[in-house]
Structure 1
């Protein structure tokens, strides 16, 4: 009897609350950001999330108010905290601003997850353009979650947050391009070790990487991570031009603060370099660190060696024994390091067989370890201009052409 009375009271209070102020809450900018809602024509709203599991209401995708009412009921009427722990960012925001009587969020799985990540900061990672692949020719962005005990040497084992399309492996290149443009692939957030992305971009594709620590407080980082947890139940239609990796990362990052609206200026297209510049405009970027690609390192080594040294490095790369070269320790070190970098680059660039190449790489490393000599190579020079300092991607210009023997011409051009 007591439980029935309590249930009736909860239902009554929710109904009264919904009839008075839930309209205002439902169209609060932060609630709209939590649901990834965008305003459509005629003042209607629609969420960019395309999976039903992300919504409590059957019409939640197109009705922020219905989704709010369904969310409140799920949070208040659940026999356990399953609903709260599926959507902890929603729960925390509603409790902090409108329902202080709700109990504290208790989610053991989230606690274990956060202990594993041990978050202290977030870094925006920008691998530069890869011109050999149309899907990567504008660059890419992802996030790295920096741990409290992290050092530069331990960054590779941090966790990376990536958003990407999940294409059909049977599609050919033309179909892949078409489906990517018209949103026929699902896009999802994934969490993985950062070294996997460094290997993919730095080694496999030989792309330089810029790493920007973000100016975010720990409470702001908690907001982002709680919403990232909610993204387990979210899939998006991936659009290469606008709703792509960089756009969705902005949508995640703007949950850090009430006054962040990072996606508002990217309604038609989102070029990764432009999204980096948008973060700079909001004062979120710290000076970047530069991680040179394998090809950049190789060219840098080559520029510091003589032709004779390059010939010897090529011989070692191809398997010639070191003792056949009769080199002193000082002369052997640069040749061995060049041979290793050269073979390692070929391994990734040409997709050589691991069973054949790995023992040769190990042998070169072992031979290098016998010489207790500091590497003679200067590190690659950091480019003078980092990506956030570059010009925008779009351009509009007026052209006046003067001709001696014909009429002058005036033109207008635009580049997307």
Structure 2
């Protein structure tokens, strides 16, 4: 099996959702002809739950293929370079202070300025999410602006490490390590491997790639395929609380993730908690089917951001659907809207895999080539919101499967309401308490 790595055409498939709730099962294949048949198959296992936007709150969604853009690539390089120069200038100014007292004052000022910049970046993200939901920016522009925020946030994380080292080098002076850790966690809520991948695509560091984007009130979900893995970021601003309320301890954040992700908890190999006593706590879980990083706000003990990394080889699918026509069998193995979907193409005469291009698009709408099945007859790609159809064309043979997305396996539905009943996770088993406190990167 292989993920989409080469696209045969420029792809831009946009599916706009305005308060529509997807149905809960895969639809019948929309095909015609005497030689057509349909075969339903059971899924390969439970679908792991995710943080996401309830279908009733999705304002806009799209599939977007991003390419190298020299102009935006130079902009990203400029952001990173400018931030590094500012960091060096700030550190030189601190080190050149005439007295330890002045050095301390300048260091505190630099830390305060970094805090102010984080506030600005959070405001910029809110503005961009709102603008995208209101259709004031294109999907391409929105993804690039999220990537730009990621670029600067990573540069500021590096600055914080330099400032912390400078503070520790001043005799008789110290700044609580928790203050630096709190700022680093805040910055990491503005970064993700998905955004970094978008930066790498736009700057030409890696090949073009396809992204799925959803937006809702103060919320965004972005996913992509990276190195045979599905990587997804979800941010729900409405689940962020204020800085007053419940204070987390070492056990509370693990309880929160256990409740939200029972199957992931049962599959875990290692769990790390960062800043358990801060305003935002991060819990990272390495498990048998991937990796989860969740961010919990102390005021309401709700998960407001997550990053999930799922190797495609360990990705479970829902009930599958096959269609047979013209000597071809095309089988769809979906997960959920915006998630990965695998297609398998075989010859009905020999059962051998068939290498052929696949097109994807809305029913009765324009379809676009998303890749080829290859020598193993298999192709992973990203599923859009709403009903879509996939067509395989091998010489004069054509077979088509139409799919209605099932309800996404969300840990929370509409804000303030739990949708555990919608989760497909099973098998809660929180055996052991292998929790370690970590200050490392995600």
* TM-score, normalising length: structure 1: 0.29
By percentage of residues, which structure has more strand? Answer: 2
Which structure has the bigger radius of gyration? 1
* TM-score, normalising length: structure 2: 0.28
Higher relative contact order (CA 8 A, sep 6+): 2
